[in-house]
Amino acid sequence: MVIYALALGAAERGTAYIGQYPGIGGKLLFLACTGSVFLAGAKILDCIRHEKTLDQAKAVPADA
């Protein structure tokens, strides 16, 4: 749901950029907005994986 919300906001912002900067500049800014969603989604998924790894490391006894 978070990634969907990010994508929706990025598409809205990209559409505003196309209106403000007609032509190739607006299209490039639109692509930058949508590309940022992929980066944010990857970061979110990476953090989830990192938290699982930390939880597993805490579950292992120190003297094992």
* Residues ≥6 apart with Cβ < 8 Å to 20: 26
Cβ–Cβ under 8 Å, residues 2 and 40? no
- Confidence (pLDDT) at 60: 74
- Confidence (pLDDT) at 59: 78
- Per-residue pLDDT tens digits of the chain, which is 64 residues long: 888 888 899 999 999 999 999 999 999 999 999 998 889 888 988 988 888 888 787 877 766 5
- Confidence (pLDDT) at 45: 87
- Confidence (pLDDT) at 63: 64
Three-state DSSP at 63 gives: coil
- Confidence (pLDDT) at 50: 84
